[in-house]
């Protein structure tokens, strides 16, 4: 059996003030309206884990993404979006997009530089009321 899976190829970070989100509890999709430009981050080997908590009331999320460009300009971009509340649009290789975070439950992006050769490792950890939603 030859199954092809889509992978996360890049991320776009938006501060909460830069977007409007139309969604409803239980809907698998969200409409995202962008008021200003986001910060595009190239990702290599990104993974998203979403697990319903034991109580069933929240979804524990964990996103990890690697950026191999360790230039000063890339680090400046990362500084602009790290430790700020916002939402992330996850862009997949098949053209689909998912929204991680919401206006009521924003994500907090952090990063560190590590490894040989060096790379930036982005991470998001936390709990959300629902799974990441597709953006049509």
pLDDT in tens, 25-83: 778 899 999 999 999 999 988 999 999 987 778 999 999 999 999 999 999 999 999 98
Residue 117 domain-assigned (yes or no) = yes
Q: Read off the pLDDT of each residue in 95-105 and give the average, rounded to a whole number.
A: 94
Whole-number percent of the chain with pLDDT over 70: 97
Tell me the helices (H) and strands (E) count for the chain, helix number first: 1, 12
Burial track 27-63 (b if 16+ CB lie within 10 A, e otherwise): eeebebeeeeebbebebeebebeeeeeeeeebbebeb
Residue 1 forms part of a structural domain: no
Give domain status of residue 119, yes or no. Answer: yes
Report how far Cα 75 is from the mean position of its chain's Cα atoms. 17
The CA distance from 100 to 49, in Å, is 11
Is 86 contained in some domain?
Answer: yes
pLDDT at position 27, please?
Answer: 85
In a domain, residue 30? The reply is yes
Separation between Cα atoms, residue 121 and residue 64, nearest integer Å: 7
2 within a domain of the structure (yes/no): no
**Within a domain: 13:** yes
- For residue 25, what pLDDT is reported? 77
Q: Is residue 3 part of a domain?
A: no
Residue-level pLDDT at 3: 46
Give CA–CA dist 59/61, Å, rounded: 6
Distance in angstroms (rounded) separating the CA atoms of residues 21 and 34:
9
Q: Containing domain of residue 30, as a range?
A: 8-134
Residue 54: the pLDDT is 79
How many structural domains compose the chain?
1
Q: How far is CA 106 from the centre of its chain?
A: 10
């Amino acid at each position: 059996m030859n199954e092809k899976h889509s992978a996360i190829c890049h991320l776009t970070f938006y501060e909460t003030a830069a977007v409007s989100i139309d969604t409803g509890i239980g809907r698998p999709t969200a409409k995202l309206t962008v008021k200003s430009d986001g910060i595009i981050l190239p990702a290599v080997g990104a993974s998203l884990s979403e697990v319903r908590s034991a109580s069933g009331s929240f979804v524990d999320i964990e996103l990890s993404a690697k950026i191999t460009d360790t230039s000063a300009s890339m680090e400046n971009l990362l500084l602009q979006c790290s430790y700020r509340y916002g939402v992330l649009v996850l862009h997949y290789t098949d053209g689909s997009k998912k929204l991680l975070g919401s206006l009521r439950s924003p994500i907090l992006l952090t990063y560190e530089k590590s490894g040989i050769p060096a790379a930036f490792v982005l991470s998001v950890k936390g709990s959300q009321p629902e799974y990441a939603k597709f953006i049509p």
